[in-house]
Amino acid sequence: MKFSAKQIAGILEGTIEGDSSIEVEALAKIEEGFSGALSFLGNPKYEEFIYSTKSSVCIVNNTFKASKELPSSLTIIRVEDAYACFAKLLELYDSMTKEEPRIEEPSFIHESSKVGTDLFMGAYAYIGKDTVIGNSVAIYPNVNIGNNVSIGDNTVIFPGATIYRDCIIGANCIIHAGAVIGADGFGFSPNEKGEFQKIPQIGNVVLEDNVDIGANSTIDRATMGSTIIRNGAKIDNLVQIGHNVEVGRNSAMAAQVGIAGSCKVGDNVLIGGQVGLAGHLKIGNRVMIAAQSGVPGDVKDDKKVMGSPSFDIEDYKKSYIGFRRLPRILSRLDELELKIKELTKDK
């Protein structure tokens, strides 16, 4: 679908410099632009590309001042915040790619389940008994939804995802391909013979509204009660969240994070990739944990930690400088030992 610069400026409440009738039909990075593409310049670091881009239209901040001549084929649209406006256009573009409501065959919906209006359900998808699906939900092919599940309005579940029995999924959630919500928590107890005995996991998983779950991530059901992912949390691909964990509002974690059972993660927490949290910890609000950190103990509000075992990030940086100098320090110690031996060998 094509849009003119005039139409785009109208959507973004921006002002046009150049040909208002020029049309675009694709989105592209400014450095990878081509004729018919729309780009944006939000970070001054990429300014050099605007003087050579082949994009037809570029969104810039009102404060942008060209230091060189812009391409004659380029129309610019000035807005208050170029990045936010481009994100708005991405949302618009994404909404236009959504599947039309329909139920493909073969698929299965148990007779006791209820589905809302405007459902898209792809082929080979399965909905178990006593499940409630909201309005405008998209369930892609090969999704398996168990018994007694609740899914809120406008949620999207991509191919191959599995939602086990009794789980509750809020509105406007996105669950990406291969994710597993509600598998058993890792609960085993050794008996007198040293053999592991399985502890039944009878709880569930609750995703509140506006939660994103990345591809192939797993969230375990609680032993009792609920594993809870609070409103607005964002979980990247390949993340493992153990049983009875609680992740706070608007917290985010990158790929390959592992959170052991019964951890409580606060609100607005940022966790880098490959971080590991030990079980039963309390992570405060607005905490930042650097990538590849191993966290063995509680972390208080507003702290930034790094390392394995993790500690205050500024102390870590100072310690790391010392660690990098360690080979030279050891070499100097060896030299000093030799000198001391030479000075003392005749005494």
Query: Taking residues 139-157, what's their average pLDDT?
Result: 98
Does 269 share its domain with 244?
yes
Q: What confidence tens digit (pLDDT) does each residue in 208-257 have?
A: 999 999 999 999 999 999 999 999 999 999 999 999 999 999 999 999 99
Same domain assignment for residues 54 and 81: yes
Residues 319 and 223 grouped into a single domain: no
Domain contains 103: no
Kindly report the CATH number assigned to the domain that includes residue 172. Answer: 2.160.10.10
What is the mean pLDDT of the segment spanning 300-306? 96
User: Mind giving me the DSSP string for 247-311?
Assistant: E-TT-EE-TT-EE-TT-EE-TT-EE-TT-EE-TT-EE-TT-EE-TT-EE-S-B-TT-EEETTTTE
At 9-68, the pLDDT tens digits run 999 999 999 999 999 999 999 999 999 999 999 999 999 999 999 999 999 999 999 999
Active site residue 243: yes
Average pLDDT over residues 139-156: 98
Q: Could you list the residue range(s) of the whole structural domain that residue 77 is in?
A: 3-96
pLDDT of residue 95: 79
pTM of the model: 0.84
Domain for residue 226, yes or no? yes
Most distant CA pair in the chain: distance in Å? Answer: 98
Quick check: 259 pLDDT over 90? yes
Tell me, yes or no, whether 91 and 167 share the same domain. no
Both tokens of 320, joined, read: 């790391």
Q: Which pLDDT does position 346 carry in this prediction?
A: 65
Q: What is the number of structural domains in the chain?
A: 3
The active-site residue, picked from 110, 176, 243, 280, is 243
73 pLDDT higher than 70: yes
Task: Please tell me whether residues 9 and 30 are part of one structural domain.
Answer: yes
Same domain, 324 and 265: no
Answer whether residue 116 is part of any domain: no
Determine phi and psi for 324, rounding to 5 degrees.
-65, -30
**Edge to edge, what strands does the sheet with 218-220 contain?**
108-109, 126-127, 144-145, 162-163, 180-183, 218-220, 240-241, 258-259, 276-277, 294-295
Cα distance between residue 31 and residue 49, in whole Å:
5
- Shared domain for 262 and 333, answered yes or no, is no
Question: For the residues 155-175, what does the mean pLDDT come to?
Answer: 98
User: Given a cut of 90, is residue 344 above it in pLDDT?
Assistant: no
In a domain, 67, yes or no: yes
- Give me the mean pLDDT over the 114-143 stretch: 98
Which residues on adjacent β-strands are paired with residue 304? 288
Q: Does residue 294 belong to any structural domain of this protein? A: yes
- State whether 295 and 325 are in the same domain: no
Q: For 315-323, what is the mean pLDDT?
A: 83
Q: Residue range 134-163: average pLDDT?
A: 98
pLDDT at 347 over 80: no
Tokens of 22: 């020029």
CA distance 134 to 9: 35
Task: Name the average pLDDT for the chain.
Answer: 94
Helical axes 5-12 vs 82-96, angle rounded to 10°: 110
Q: What digits encode the pLDDT tens for the residues 87-96?
A: 898 888 887 7
Instruction: Tell me if 48 sits within 8 A of 67, measured CB to CB.
Output: no
State the pLDDT at residue 5: 95
